[in-house]
Chain A
């Protein structure tokens, strides 16, 4: 009986993994079939000259180039804002917080992670109104407010992944540097963080994915259909998730819908580039912090 159960468990886990891979493959193949026909320079640059666009000498009116640039900067800015706050909070929770504080802050971050993104978007919108009314007319829904709101949305992922990856380190690693006379800070910087980088970067990957796909937050905080390439942090912008949402709900012919699928492929491409960047950063950091000591 025990043997049958063992075999059943192996069969089930194998089948479920296969089903998952199959679903992912079907999803990607479907996107490729639908999106590839429209994929090309015209999808990105419209009727404008690509070189002139890249040199800033021409504007794109009927392509997704401004949305690509907007998405790239949005994700990058959100990650840059969220990463230090998230990692520092994770380090505090794992290494310095008392059990009571750990419980308290842990619950707060869990609540924050559960807040619907539209609520965060509304908070961002209210912040832009507040800044507009009390500080300067220049403030309003913009790239910076969107990035700040997205950072708030993804910080819990980074905090929790940092905390867990530090707490899961075996005691052998934890006490190596301490026994050699390291201060707690030296132990964290030279030994614990380099060893936990894999877990920390997993949180960053999740955060990047969430920033790239979220539409509800940016809908209320600065994204518009035709803004062009953002000229500053305080300008409105275009973004691929919004373009995909807009084109798939408003399309007037099959070619426009096909453009939406093409934009999906581009969004996946941008996410992949950012993932690779995060992976490279992880490798570089582990080399710099651990091997160069």
Chain B
């Protein structure tokens, strides 16, 4: 294994009951890079992302074969072999979704939520981490005066940046983004694109997107999931 590799996918196939969704995928993803994954709808792009942090685990009838190795904290672990507890894996391999999904509570409480789940309750540490994550997400200046307001009052783009900030608060090593701009207008999408590119210094990013121009703009490498296989383009 090369030292710069962050994720190695070796002969991975994915099935829903007897239906093969992904067939024998092989790929390598380097540390501190942004890989954009594109392809037609229904080819399993979201499923592929979910395999890196075990989001498919509780889906009835779902089955995965092959091997995935992820380097976390200098140690190689296999999420498919469940060598690491799923909550711990998901704190290090964070994920954001197509639709921004802030919880119906204040901006501050949304941000502190993952820290409380992880058992971090020291107010000073929480405050410091929340501010840092909001700054990384270009959101601090916009919300610093209204942290106690409901997160549901934010605009679509701000909500998505809040969700990215909420994922970053746990300082993940990998950030999985499932079509993060598809529900946003062009201006808000542009801000998110810029934000994702800036996050490369902190973590490794895998971004699924439908838009070819977008993936070429932001991706260090671009891959297409077609005919159940992953190809570099």
Contacts and interface: CB of A to CB of B under 8 A. Distances in A.
B90 A176 contact: no
Contact of A293 (B53, B95, B116, B118): B116
A182 B94 contact: no
A55 interface: no
A169 interface: no
B193 interface: no
Given A180-B114, A180-B117, A181-B90, A191 B103 contact: yes
B105 A291 contact: yes
B45 interface: no
Interface in B93-118: 94-97, 99, 101, 103-105, 109, 113-114, 116-118
B101 A180 contact: no
Nearest to B59: A171
Contact of A180 (B58, B88, B99, B113): B113
B97 A181 contact: no
B105 A180 contact: no
B97 A175 contact: yes
Contact of B87 (A99, A181, A190, A191): A181
A179 B90 contact: yes
A95 B182 CA distance: 30
- Chain A residues touching B, majority SS: helix
B105 A179 contact: no
B134 interface: no
B159 interface: no
B170 interface: yes
A175 B49 CA distance: 14
A99 B91 CA distance: 29
B100 to A, nearest CB: 9
Given A172-B97, A186-B117, A291-B109, A180 B170 contact: yes
B101 A176 contact: yes
Contact of A182 (B53, B87, B166): B87
Contacts of B114: 180-181
Contacts of B73: none
A31 to B, nearest CB: 40
Among A181, A184, A293: residue with most chain B CB under 10 A: A181
Contact of B55 (A178, A182, A293): A178
B99 A290 contact: no
B74 interface: no
A78 B94 CA distance: 45
B117 A179 contact: no
A181 B55 contact: no
B145 interface: no
B206 interface: no
A173 interface: yes
B60 A176 contact: no
Given A179-B55, A180-B117, A173 B101 contact: yes
A186 B114 CA distance: 11
Contacts of A25: none
Contact of B91 (A181, A184, A190): A181
A182 B104 contact: no
Interface in A210-237: none
Contacts of A184: 58
B12 interface: no
Given A175-B97, A293-B105, A293-B116, A180 B60 contact: no
A66 B167 CA distance: 58
A293 B113 CA distance: 7
Interface in B138-167: 166-167
A183 interface: yes
Contacts of B101: 172-173, 176
A265 interface: no
Nearest to A286: B104
B103 A290 contact: yes
A160 B170 CA distance: 37
15 contacts: A99-B60, A172-B97, A176-B103, A179-B53, A179-B55, A179-B90, A179-B97, A180-B90, A180-B166, A183-B87, A186-B87, A190-B113, A290-B103, A290-B104, A291-B105
Given A178-B55, A178-B90, A293-B113, 10 more contacts: A176-B103, A177-B113, A179-B95, A179-B97, A181-B117, A182-B117, A183-B117, A191-B103, A290-B104, A291-B104
Interface of A: 99, 172-173, 175-184, 186, 190-191, 290-291, 293
